[in-house]
Structure 1
Amino acid sequence: MPSSIKRFLIGRPLKSNELGEQKLNKTKALAILSSDALSSVAYGPEQILLVLVTVGAAAFWYSLPIAIGVLVLLTALILSYRQIIFAYPHGGGAYVVSKENLGIFPGLVAGGSLLVDYILTVAVSVSAGTDAITSAFPGLHAHNVAIAVIFVVLITTLNLRGVTESASILAYPVYLFVLALFLLIGVGLYRIAAGDVSPALHTPVGTPVAGIGLFLLLRAFASGSSALTGVEAISNAIPNFKEPAPSNAAKTLIAMGALLALLFSGIVYLAYYYGIAPREEVTVVSQIAEQTFGRGFMYFFIQGTTALILILAANTGYSAFPLLAVNLAKDKFIPRMFTIRGDRLGYSNGILILGLLSIALILPFKGRTEHLIPLYAVGVFIPFTLSQTGMMVKWIREKPEGWIAKLIVNTAGAVISFTVTIMFFLTKFGQVWTVLVFLPVILYMFHRIRKHYRAVGEQLRLTPSEPAVPIEGNVILVPVAGLTRVVENSLNYAKSLGAYQVIAVHVSFEREENEQFEQEWKRWQPDVRLVSLYSPYRSIIQPLTKLIDTVQHKASESNYQVTVVIPQFIPKKGWHNVLHNQSSLLIRAHLLYRRNVIVTTVPYHLKK
């Protein structure tokens, strides 16, 4: 992209020593790293009711003990990830914990699951937010995909500007959503306490319900646990925090857990007391807001902030995906380009790839990715289970002070997370079976990439036992298309190298042209040998390649190096390139993959 446009969109480049200024304080970090977890309050309670409603409205009181179970799991996860933050202060989360305590394979399963999950985070969040907007403005429904793609582009651009700048902008909608839900819960509880809500709307706790079984309750619990997606993001993003980073990350994690627990339990309780039943066209939060405030300003304020945070939940992926990619790239499981910081000191390659992959997911599903939510959730609970198990192994192996209490926390988290994962596979196999396909594919890609890097390292490593073969001289071939200043410039350069021999090569498509060119060449460059090649099939590459093979075979007998010097003129304006044949580019692209041939381009810059 032109430099001026890039500067406008992304901002001025930052010096490496300004990295400290791009770190997050706790307030901003809570906003951008908790948006995914907090946004799940908008659909987590509803997922519980969607399972219970299959038995009947009388079963809704079971949402309360199920919510308590979700809060127990949340507590175990928060305490566990707090331990992970201090044990692994350089970030990496579930990937690093699993790799170091369980082995490479479990680590890669955790890392691969999270990479895919962050892509799903962006696609699902943006699509859900777009649906909320088009539900309010039905005339925009036909443009769902375009609106979702625009949001992805905007969030990607914002993140390319840097962590601090994106956090400064995105913090406001997140805290507005938290304020809106606290107002909703507070006013709702006040109305209940004041007796404004009829107790007849709900079934009393403890009412026997036919058809309720352990399997259904576990299924509802697993569905409600989708509200815990995003809890792991802070442990992956520790390097983004200001110093002391581990301490600040731990405090932010506790704050996120407390907010999520209060909002989740408040929405579940209000939904139960109001007797809210899930409806396809209206969300549970929308029904609670309408019964609490009516369809006035506060109702639309809550709906608006909910739509915003559903979209901005994607930002959690942009914060965690690049840092997870850095850890995988350092271990040579994904391309090294993910370790490079961009102009604004963020890992811009990871941000761009995440944006592109998210759009690639939105387009085929036409912005309707609701049925990917179970896959999105199971993609988190697999790393949850592995990281908890990894921490169990760590405490048993190291036995630090107070390790038994830590082991109990991680054991509880591992058992519950494993149970949720199994329940997803048992009850929603039709929606999550693809994890059994993409995980092996991702693991195979990791293996192939690392194998490539090892092979490259072995070939590039200097070894004293393999002395270099001396080069006695150079045989230089110069492909020429005519008698021009460009060719003259390249020949002068070739002669200056002190080559053993300089050979000009001309490929013609007509015999008469071939003879005429040879005569003109003798008059113009009598001291440079010319080899004329006739190509009846109008190919430049094929006859040139045959000549190079012949020269290379003879030169190798005397340890001579074959070098091809390619003349190329550079137009003053970039668009002029489309007006000219790009033969030099084709020759260079072809020869670069031939062994033992050095390719050099000699540019000649045009002035007008």
Structure 2
Amino acid sequence: MWKYVKKVLIGKPLKTNNTGSQSLNIFKALALLSSDALSSVAYGTEMITTALLAGGAAALWLQLPIAGLVLILLVAIALSYVMIIRAYPSGGGAYAVASQNWGHWIGLVAGGSLLVDYMLTVAVSAASATDAISSAIPEIHNFSLLISIAIVILLMLMNLRGLRESANFLMVPVYFFVAAMIVMLLIGFVRLGLGQIAYHAPTLAEKISPTMTIGFLLFMKAFSSGSSSLTGVEAISNSVPNFNKPKERNASKTLLILVFILGFFFGSITFFSYYLGIVPNGQTTVMAQIADAIFGGTGIAFYVFQLATALILTVAANTGFSAFPMLAYNMANDKFMPHLFKDKGDRLGYSNGIVSLSIGAIALLLVFDGKVEALIPLYAVGVFVPFTLSQSGMIIHWWRERGSFWIFKTLINFIGALISLVLVVSMFTLHFSGVWPYLIIMPLLLRLFHGVHSHYVSIAKQLKLTPAKARVHRHDYDGAMVIVFMGNVTRVTISAMDYARSIGDEVIGMHVSFDTDIKRERKTAKEFEKYFPGIRYVDIHSSYRSVIVPAREFIDSMSKQATKRNWSLTVMVPQFVPKHWWQNAMHNQTAFRLRNAFVSRDDITISSYYYHLRD
């Protein structure tokens, strides 16, 4: 049943040699990896104007210089990540750069920040999409959290089907939004040139009005808020291995195309917001007000554009589903995350990363009750900390390499690192109430990464054969003792005992009896003697209904005897396996508890014997 459901939801398993078929061309990669960045256009300008309103409506003219700074930062980040893609083609992005240039601890800060940020990407996008849906259908507002979780689950299932299928699905909403934006902006500029759109921006006198109180902190708050439009740009550098060959070249082209589109959209939207004198009102978004003004009312074109915006917000979460598994893979490769993140699923995607991301995003939605405004500040910090570390790391990289144009490249990274650092400081000083969890989450993640790494290093040290330890201690046993744990004499017991006799020189049937039914215990002993004459049967009495304690005492004594005789000791735990998985819950878990009780012992071997039921 489960296999059928899995096949329907995820699809047929793909062969390992079909990995190439899951690689992406530029057209599909742009759809798969750009949704987060493009969706930020829908709220980036609004976040700037909302922050500036604290200084009065006349302060809204500052959105133009702020947008200019954001675009400068975008160009610096884009050029930096193109360099990162070429210098670190195996993926990993900020994590790889920071690790190799700053050291593992700083790299883990970048990697941990991005892992959490991708979870936040999914959570924020799902919550934003739900807000858009509930705005259109107010009746479902009370179910917003459940709808957000459902969106995450649907995206998880889609991504478990593989990269190409995800890209095929995402091409529709992503390119629909791109087309809708281009059409709206072209109409806007044409109408502007024809004088059909009135100028409503503040006059020069209003801009310099003495009643306008604009301070540096307000400017920086608006700048840091608007810089959220840059989230998702780094995802391509984390996903280089997913591209068609030549991977670095295709990834670089995709990034530059994304940056051009994002820059054009963000700059144009901010310009129209200023020119039209748009003021956030809490009911209609800035994007909707601009569309209303350009299309000349809320006609068909307006609603088509709103549909495109809602769709891009819905699928924006997919950038996290594309980048998180690759980053987790790279960190697992370095032994800072469990190796299960290196395993590919049936559809050749890193399924464990996809599922873990979904669980993390759902947890964030539950903790923050699906409130977008509560998630955004933490979301921004998770982006700009890695930005700062990666770009400053590239400065070190160029200093070491000193190849062609290294001074120019260093300058670009320096500008990007400086602006990113200013933004990080601004976030912690101006939005501390929203970002303080970062100061708790990051130390916990670093401790987790260190614990995982220490575990793997310790295991490798103990298991690896080195020249210095080429002579491994090997034990030649003189015999084998097998203790079979048994309840009543059943088909399971008989089958297990037959197998035990085939591998053991001495076989013992061990039974733990209680005070509840003495006649039944005697019957069990007689049945054992009937079926296994000559085999030792041990009935251990337990007055306190415990199986583990008396069994441990007997096994301890047998272990000592086996050691004296230079014999191996195996404790076999028979267990029947029901035909249907759900039937396991209806049977006691004695076998499971017995295995757990002795699994840490190095003087005995725990063996399970499974008897499969047919009905």
User: Unaligned 5+ residue runs, structure 1?
Assistant: none
How many residues end up aligned between the 2 structures? 607
TM-score (normalizing by structure 1):
0.97
CA displacement at 1:577 relative to structure 2: 3.8
- Call closer, same or farther: CA 1:572–1:71 in 2, change over 3 Å: closer
Q: Are residue 483 (structure 1) and residue 485 (structure 2) matched?
A: no
Matches within 5 A, 1:125-204: 125-204=125-204
Aligned counterparts of 2:593 and 2:143: Cα–Cα separation in 1: 42
Residue aligning to 1:344 = 347
Contact 1:97/1:391, CA 8 A, preserved across alignment? yes
Aligned counterparts of 2:67 and 2:531: Cα–Cα separation in 1: 90
Residue aligning to 1:271 = 273
- Call closer, same or farther: CA 1:466–1:206 in 2, change over 3 Å: farther
- Call closer, same or farther: CA 1:272–1:335 in 2, change over 3 Å: same
Residue aligning to 2:2 = 2
Aligned counterparts of 1:350 and 1:295: Cα–Cα separation in 2: 42
Residue aligning to 1:57 = 57
Aligned counterparts of 2:4 and 2:91: Cα–Cα separation in 1: 35
- Call closer, same or farther: CA 1:135–1:205 in 2, change over 3 Å: farther
One-letter identity of the residue aligned with 1:295 = T
One-letter identity of the residue aligned with 1:593 = S
- Call closer, same or farther: CA 1:267–1:534 in 2, change over 3 Å: same
| Residue-by-residue CA offset, 1:94-149 (whole Å, 9 max, x unaligned) | 00011111111111110000000000000001100110010011111111112111
One-letter identity of the residue aligned with 1:444 = R
Contact 2:368/2:375, CA 8 A, preserved across alignment? no
Residue aligning to 1:566 = 573
| Residue-by-residue CA offset, 1:335-383 (whole Å, 9 max, x unaligned) | 0001111111111110111111111111232222322111101110000
One-letter identity of the residue aligned with 1:595 = D
Aligned counterparts of 1:200 and 1:587: Cα–Cα separation in 2: 78
Q: Are residue 552 (structure 1) and residue 559 (structure 2) matched?
A: yes
Residue aligning to 1:539 = 546
Indicate the SS of the match to 2:508. strand
Q: Are residue 509 (structure 1) and residue 514 (structure 2) matched?
A: yes
Residue aligning to 1:456 = 459
Residue aligning to 2:525 = 518
Indicate the SS of the match to 1:54. helix
TM-score (normalizing by structure 2):
0.96
One-letter identity of the residue aligned with 1:351 = I
One-letter identity of the residue aligned with 1:503 = I
Matches within 5 A, 1:436-455: 436-455=439-458
Indicate the SS of the match to 1:281. coil
Indicate the SS of the match to 1:275. coil
- Call closer, same or farther: CA 1:173–1:541 in 2, change over 3 Å: same
Matches within 5 A, 1:129-528: 129-204=129-204, 207-209=207-209, 210-293=212-295, 294-462=297-465, 463-497=469-503, 499-510=504-515, 511-528=518-535
One-letter identity of the residue aligned with 1:388 = Q
CA displacement at 1:579 relative to structure 2: 4.5
Aligned counterparts of 1:606 and 1:108: Cα–Cα separation in 2: 49
- Call closer, same or farther: CA 1:407–1:580 in 2, change over 3 Å: closer
| Residue-by-residue CA offset, 1:294-331 (whole Å, 9 max, x unaligned) | 11111111211111111211000011000000100000
Aligned counterparts of 2:349 and 2:613: Cα–Cα separation in 1: 38
Aligned counterparts of 2:126 and 2:500: Cα–Cα separation in 1: 57
CA displacement at 1:515 relative to structure 2: 4.0
Aligned counterparts of 1:467 and 1:199: Cα–Cα separation in 2: 86
Aligned counterparts of 1:280 and 1:576: Cα–Cα separation in 2: 54
Residue aligning to 1:87 = 87
- Call closer, same or farther: CA 1:493–1:74 in 2, change over 3 Å: same
Aligned counterparts of 1:370 and 1:36: Cα–Cα separation in 2: 17
User: Unaligned 5+ residue runs, structure 2?
Assistant: none
- Call closer, same or farther: CA 1:353–1:2 in 2, change over 3 Å: same
Q: 1:585 aligns with which of 584, 589, 592?
A: 592
- Call closer, same or farther: CA 1:199–1:240 in 2, change over 3 Å: same
CA displacement at 1:516 relative to structure 2: 4.3
CA displacement at 1:2 relative to structure 2: 1.0
One-letter identity of the residue aligned with 1:66 = I
Aligned counterparts of 2:583 and 2:417: Cα–Cα separation in 1: 63
Contact 2:201/2:275, CA 8 A, preserved across alignment? yes
One-letter identity of the residue aligned with 2:496 = S
Between 459-468 and 549-558, the greater mean CA deviation after superposition: 459-468
Aligned counterparts of 2:432 and 2:614: Cα–Cα separation in 1: 66
Indicate the SS of the match to 1:311. helix
One-letter identity of the residue aligned with 1:464 = A
RMSD in angstroms over aligned alpha carbons? 1.7
Aligned counterparts of 2:242 and 2:202: Cα–Cα separation in 1: 46
Contact 2:575/2:611, CA 8 A, preserved across alignment? yes
One-letter identity of the residue aligned with 1:509 = F
One-letter identity of the residue aligned with 2:355 = L
Aligned counterparts of 1:523 and 1:82: Cα–Cα separation in 2: 78
Aligned counterparts of 2:10 and 2:273: Cα–Cα separation in 1: 43
One-letter identity of the residue aligned with 1:406 = K
CA displacement at 1:183 relative to structure 2: 2.0
Indicate the SS of the match to 2:55. coil
CA displacement at 1:201 relative to structure 2: 4.7
Contact 1:61/1:203, CA 8 A, preserved across alignment? no
Aligned counterparts of 2:135 and 2:580: Cα–Cα separation in 1: 49
Indicate the SS of the match to 2:9. helix
Aligned counterparts of 2:87 and 2:205: Cα–Cα separation in 1: 42
| Residue-by-residue CA offset, 1:172-221 (whole Å, 9 max, x unaligned) | 11111112122222222233322233324533499314312223222211
Aligned counterparts of 2:322 and 2:101: Cα–Cα separation in 1: 25
Residue aligning to 1:108 = 108
Aligned counterparts of 2:72 and 2:401: Cα–Cα separation in 1: 26
Aligned counterparts of 2:10 and 2:529: Cα–Cα separation in 1: 56
One-letter identity of the residue aligned with 1:68 = G
